[in-house]
Structure 1
Amino acid sequence: MASDPHDDEDAFRWEGDDSPTRPARPERTGAALPDGWRAVGKGSETTPGDDVAPAPEAVTTADADAEPAPLGNVALVSLGLLGGIYLLYTVGWLLGSSRLAAATSFWLEPAAVVPALWVAVAAPALWFGGVMLLTRASAAWVRFAWLVVGVFLLLPWPFVIGV
């Protein structure tokens, strides 16, 4: 390639770029980008066929709420760990409540104890699912705050103290 050694575009070319079998690039032909596409990078402000770009203030809240930002690796691992804790809590409430039902069956009505124990068994899963559902549009720290509150609130005490 015989060109100016200080040409910035040389790094983005290869001999044979002008092959007739390859489609022409829009910046070479002056063609507009397809609908929904936006040019980025050096010189993108003057791409032919672009309408006036919307001002940053013109972005509506509906566009911002349409797709939440993806979680990072640490957040995904933390959600997995907290989900595992809630799963262990469900097992802990199942084991602890079976021992608790045997200890309280002689002085409480079983028709009242059994539904309460099943609600206690389901509480960690319901808490985790509820937090995940209700904090979809919230910041990540809000979701994690509610999950940590649930870790302390739903501790399976009958299993821990060994009733």
Structure 2
Amino acid sequence: MTAGRDDDALSWDGDDDPTLVTGVDERDTTATAADAATDEKAAVEASVPVALPQGFDAVGRGSDEVGRLESDGTVTAVSEPKPLGNAALVGIGILSGIYLLWTIGWVVGGLRLQGTAQFLVAPVGYLVSLCLAILAPLIWFVTTLVLTRGSHTWVRVLWLLAGAILLVPWPFLAVGAVGQ
């Protein structure tokens, strides 16, 4: 005396799910029903884009693939990088000032050593090396900003600090502005 499913006293939403196991022969159908449920879940997850509402930021691996959920329910891709924070902007501004001082230091120190260095190096060679030394802080700063555009802020600051240490104007520090 088994009645049909429509005659049950209690009916639940989703009872007509084709992956639902009815208990007839669970040993044979359990594996196929689980596989079908997994395949259906994977198909649903693949069709729904991953998005976060306004005010939430995705972090970690794959966070650049997470979209933005707008108020009308549409999903937009997030392609613009996050803006720098106030501390990062101030730090990069201070480092840019240091790079400017290094450029001035290379000009002053290099010109102070010009008479002495021309005894050791040809005048053309000294002029070329002086121009490269003067341009080195600018080249390092711009290259670091361009190449670390998509990186974390700490990577950018680390490279700028490394350049500030490597490009110290030693002729200016050794001879000074006045010299002997």
Instruction: Tell me if TM exceeds 0.5.
Output: yes
1:121-152 Cα distance to aligned partner (Å, 9 max, x none): 00001100000011001110100000000011
Aligned to 2:50, which of 28, 52, 55?
55
Give the aligned residue type for 2:163: G
Maintained 8 Å contact 2:50/2:66? no
Partner of 2:140: 127
Of 102, 107, 111, which aligns to 2:124? 111
Compared with structure 1, are the counterparts of its residues 86 and 54 closer, same or farther at alpha carbon in structure 2 (3 Å cutoff)?
A: same
Distance 1:104 1:59 in 2: 52
Of 111, 125, 143, 1:98 maps to 111
Higher CA-based Rg: 2
Is 1:160 the equivalent of 2:173?
Answer: yes
Pairwise CA distance, 1:108: 1.6
Shift of 1:106: 2.3
Distance 1:142 1:59, change over 3 A: closer
Please, which runs of 5 or more residues in structure 1 have no aligned partner?
1-51
Q: Give the match for residue 149 of structure 2.
A: 136
What stretches of structure 1 move > 6 A for 4+ residues in a row? none
Identity of aligned residues (%): 42
Structure 2 gap segments, 5+ residues each: 1-46, 52-61, 68-76
Q: Compared with structure 1, are the counterparts of its residues 61 and 118 closer, same or farther at alpha carbon in structure 2 (3 Å cutoff)?
A: farther
1:60 offset after TM fit, Å?
Answer: 2.8
Paired positions, count: 111
Q: What are the within-5 Å matches in structure 2 for residues 19-34 of structure 1?
A: none
Q: Which structure has more RCO (C-alpha within 8 Å, separation ≥ 6)? A: 1
What is the CA-CA distance between 1:53 and the residue it aligns to? 6.1
Going from structure 1 to structure 2, the CA distance change for 1:58 and 1:79 (only over 3 Å counts) comes to: closer
Write 1 or 2 for the structure with the bigger share of strand: 2
Normalization by structure 2: what TM-score? 0.56
Query: TM-score scaled by structure 1?
Result: 0.62
